[in-house]
Amino acid sequence: MRKAANTVPEPMMQAFNSEDITAAAGIIAAGGLVAMPTETVYGLAADSTNDAAVARIFDAKGRPQFNPLIVHVSGPEMARRHVTFSPMAEKLAAAFWPGPLTLVAPRRADCGLSLLVSAGLDTAAVRMPDHPFAQGLIKAAGRPLAAPSANRSGTISPTTADHVRASLGEKVDFILDGGPCAIGVESTILRVDGDRATLLRPGGVARKDIERVIGKPLEKPGGARIEAPGMMASHYAPNAAMRLDAGAQRDSEAFLGFGEIEGRDHGLNLSRAGDLREAAANLFRHLHALDRMAAANRLKTIACAPVPHEGLGEAINDRLQRAAAPRDEKH
Ligand code: TXA
Ligand code: MG
């Protein structure tokens, strides 16, 4: 089965096997990881509505930080269920989807996407890939798929199934082999804020082609809001102050526990079992909830139990440190 929208050169395309797609969709539904070809690079896909599944992506990639991930959708309709599209976003999607353009837009109040997928931000990045395997998988899974490039963090992005195998090996539950990726560089990322479009990452769609569609120059990231990919200062910071590596809760604190170190009241635990993947899956949700709890109870500080630095603990600690940084270092 081949779709008209497919831009991958035909001789390179592996046969579309609907049994493989069905098997892969079952793995996604069970919270597993599937490497899927897109027109840009292979993505390491998981259910974007499942915090635990998204945490597995970070674990498999060995990411030292939680960067927000791109959510792959079947089209504008699926995107609009989770983010708000301004007329500018609609225009860009109409012009470039399916294709290598990612749009960062505000999460809806009833957004079903994991908070971890947004790394705690109030926006989410969405794109409609131009590849029959990726499209087939999203449709079979019936939900949007979070997918960063399917390689270990800090290594070269994979454009063949062999690259994925070599980089991730056993860490991925299933690899859909769609042959080499036609474009080979990641998507262009735009933040769309009302009628303003800001280039966050150059990629598969050229700036001039975007500017022709929107009829004005793209804005540069910077100024008061630091928002370029990887610039973690843009990430969620609670209103309450944070106290890290807290051995016990003090009066007038909310408490984020880990393992056996728990708060007495106004507390949540990242993982009673001390499981770092579970902790990652809960991190942003718990920070949001504790911030609300602190405000409701007039508590000025959220104290956090120590979290070990191994595995995903490195990313969790990175995130906690950024949330705790002096407020004038953030916007
Ligand atoms: O071509 C691509 O875009 C590939 C394929 C697999 O689709 N995906 C990809 O995803 O490159 P990833 O996760 O490696 O890149 C995500 C980038 C990160 O640099 C992240 O900072 C940025 O997108 N990003 C994601 N959500 C964002 C948000 N809400 N605000 C700002 N930047 C965001
Ligand atoms: Mg990457």
pLDDT tens digits for range 64-109 = 788 899 999 999 999 999 999 999 999 999 999 999 999 999 999 9
| Distance of alpha carbon 187 from alpha carbon 137, whole angstroms | 19
| Distance of alpha carbon 27 from alpha carbon 47, whole angstroms | 9
Q: Residue 42 has which token pair?
A: 């292979």
Asked whether 102 lines ligand 1 (CB < 6 A), one says yes
| Distance of alpha carbon 287 from alpha carbon 127, whole angstroms | 27
Asked whether 54 lines ligand 1 (CB < 6 A), one says no
Res 150 pLDDT > 90: yes
| Distance of alpha carbon 256 from alpha carbon 269, whole angstroms | 6
Rounded to the nearest angstrom, the distance between the alpha carbon of 196 and the centre of ligand 1 is 19
- Rounded to the nearest angstrom, the gap between the alpha carbon of residue 89 and the centroid of all alpha carbons in its chain is 19
Strand 34-36 vs strand 43-47: parallel, antiparallel, or unpaired? antiparallel
Pocket-testing residue among 44, 54, 70, 138, ligand 1, by greatest number of atoms within 8 A of Cβ: 70
Res 10 pLDDT > 60: no
DSSP three-state, residue 4: coil
Q: List the residue whose alpha carbon is closest to atom 8 of ligand 1.
A: 148
pLDDT of residue 13: 64
Domain limits, the chain: 2-214, 241-329
Other beta carbons less than 10 A from residue 96's beta carbon: 23
Pocket-testing residue among 33, 39, 67, 225, ligand 1, by greatest number of atoms within 8 A of Cβ: 67
Average pLDDT of the chain is 89
Which span out of 12-16, 113-117, 182-186, 276-280 was modeled with the highest average pLDDT? 113-117
pLDDT of residue 327: 61
Superfamily of domain 2-214: DHBP synthase (3.90.870.10)
Indicate if the alpha-carbon torsion angle 12, 16, 22, 28 is positive or negative: positive
Q: How confident is the model over 45-54, as a mean pLDDT?
A: 98
Using 50, 70 and 90 to split pLDDT, how confident is the model at 268?
very high
Res 326 pLDDT > 50: yes
Pocket-testing residue among 156, 186, 205, 232, ligand 1, by greatest number of atoms within 8 A of Cβ: 186
Rounded to the nearest angstrom, the distance between the alpha carbon of 202 and the centre of ligand 2 is 13
Pocket-testing residue among 54, 115, 189, 192, ligand 1, by greatest number of atoms within 8 A of Cβ: 189
Q: How confident is the model over 299-320, as a mean pLDDT?
A: 91
Rounded to the nearest angstrom, the distance between the alpha carbon of 127 and the centre of ligand 1 is 10
Contact 137, 145 (CB under 8 A): yes
Asked whether 194 lines ligand 1 (CB < 6 A), one says no
Q: Report which DSSP code applies to 207.
A: H
User: Which residues line ion ligand 2, judged by CB < 5 Å?
Assistant: 149
pLDDT of residue 236: 57
Tell me the pTM.
Answer: 0.85
Other beta carbons less than 10 A from residue 239's beta carbon: 11
Q: How confident is the model over 34-39, as a mean pLDDT?
A: 97
pLDDT of residue 65: 83
pLDDT of residue 225: 47
Asked whether 68 lines ligand 1 (CB < 6 A), one says yes
What percent of the chain is predicted at pLDDT more than 90?
71
Tell the residue number behind the tokens 């990652």, with chain if given: 280
pLDDT of residue 296: 96
pLDDT of residue 1: 40
Contact 6, 13 (CB under 8 A): yes
Other beta carbons less than 10 A from residue 105's beta carbon: 23
Asked whether 70 lines ligand 1 (CB < 6 A), one says yes
DSSP three-state, residue 268: strand
Using 50, 70 and 90 to split pLDDT, how confident is the model at 323?
confident
Using 50, 70 and 90 to split pLDDT, how confident is the model at 310?
confident
Q: List the residue whose alpha carbon is closest to atom 21 of ligand 1.
A: 229
Asked whether 118 lines ligand 1 (CB < 6 A), one says yes
| Distance of alpha carbon 46 from alpha carbon 24, whole angstroms | 10
pLDDT of residue 64: 76
Question: Measuring CA to CA, how many Å separate 171 from each of 87, 131, 167, 168?
Answer: 40, 23, 9, 5
Asked whether 167 lines ligand 1 (CB < 6 A), one says no
Q: What is the pLDDT of residues 189-241, one digit of tens each?
A: 999 999 999 999 988 898 899 999 999 999 988 754 444 434 444 345 788 99
